[in-house]
Amino acid sequence: MGTLTEHLLETAEVEVPAPVVVDLANEPVRELNSRLHALPEGDTSAWRVLHPNGAHSIAVGLDRPVTVEVDGHVGYYCAGMNQHATVEVHGNAGVGVAENMMSGRVHVHGDASQSAGATAHGGLLVVDGNAAARCGISMKGVDIVVGGNVGHMSGFMAQAGRMVVCGDAGDALGDSIYEARIYVQGSVASLGADCVRKEMREEHLAELAGLLTAAGRDDDPADFTRYGSSRTLYNFHVDNASAY
C-alpha cells in the first residue's frame, strides 16, 4: 500500500483550465493572431474560436504548442506556417490550409479547397473529407492524410513526405514527383510525368498503418496502392524533353 499522500495524489481530480474563447464576430482576426503570437515560449494553453465565418489567415504563424479549435468554416491559409501547434477546424477550409507548415498538427473535419499542405516541411495534416486540386504540391516532408478524394495535380513536384488518400485521386497524380510517397486506396484518374505504381512492401504497410492510426482512421493498409517516382526526370535528357 502507498502512503496517504500518494493515494490522495492518485485520486485527486486534475483541474483542466478552460479554453480562452475568442469570438470573431466581436474581435478581428488580426487581434486573435497577435494574442497567439504574444504567448510565452512553451505555452500549452487551449483556445476556442467562434464565428470564423470563412475569415482568412486564422491561426497563422503559430510557434507554440497551443491548441486552437475553430468552430466553423475558415477561408484562405488557415494554420499556414504552423510550428508546434494543434489546429482543429470543425468545418471546411479554403485555399492553402496548413501551407508551409513546419510541425504540429492541423485537422480539418470537413473538406479542404485547393493546395492543402502546399510546400509544407513537417507535421501532420488531416482532412476528413475531400481535398481539391493540387493537394500537397511541392510538399517537403509533411504527412497528409485525406479521408476522401483529392483533385487533379495532387502531389505535383512532391519532394519528401507521405500522402495518404483514402478515396480516389484526380488526373496527373504525383506529376514530376521526387522522393515523396503516395498511398491511394481508391482509383487514380491518371498519373503525372515520372509517377509510377510501386511495390507495397512490409515496411510500407507498417508506415501506412502508422499514418492511418495517427489520423484516427481504421482503413486496412492492404487496400492501398503505393505510387512514387520512376526517377527518369532527375537529370535532363533530350529524349524526355516533352515531359518537362
Taking alpha carbons only, the member of 183, 163, 182, 159 closest to residue 234 is: 159
Q: Give the per-residue pLDDT at 159.
A: 96
How far is Cα 181 from Cα 241, in angstroms, rounded to an integer?
24
The grid coordinates listed for 1 are: 500500500
**Which amino acid makes up residue 106?**
V
Confidence band for 17, pLDDT divided at 50, 70 and 90: confident
Q: Give the per-residue pLDDT at 148.
A: 98
Task: Give the mean pLDDT of 94-100.
Answer: 98
Contact residues for 53 (Cβ-Cβ < 8 A; gap 6+)? 24, 25, 72, 73
Task: Give the mean pLDDT of 110-137.
Answer: 98
Q: Give the per-residue pLDDT at 3.
A: 63
Q: Give the per-residue pLDDT at 145.
A: 98
Q: How far apart are the first and last CA of the chain?
A: 72
Q: Is the pLDDT of residue 61 over 80?
A: yes
Query: Which domains does the chain show, CATH number per domain?
Result: 18-229 (2.160.20.60)
Taking alpha carbons only, the member of 63, 107, 54, 66 closest to residue 81 is: 63
Confidence band for 119, pLDDT divided at 50, 70 and 90: very high
Taking alpha carbons only, the member of 107, 97, 95, 31 closest to residue 68 is: 107
Confidence band for 232, pLDDT divided at 50, 70 and 90: confident
Weakest mean pLDDT among 16-25, 170-179, 199-208 = 16-25
Weakest mean pLDDT among 1-10, 80-89, 101-110, 186-195 = 1-10
Task: Give the mean pLDDT of 44-60.
Answer: 98
Can you list the pairs that 20-25 forms with residues at least 24 positions away whose Cβ atoms lie under 8 Å?
20/45, 20/46, 20/47, 20/48, 21/47, 21/48, 21/50, 22/47, 22/48, 22/49, 22/50, 23/50, 23/51, 24/49, 24/50, 24/51, 24/52, 24/53, 24/55, 24/58, 25/50, 25/51, 25/53
Q: Give the per-residue pLDDT at 235.
A: 66
Q: Is the pLDDT of residue 156 over 60?
A: yes
Q: Give the per-residue pLDDT at 10.
A: 60
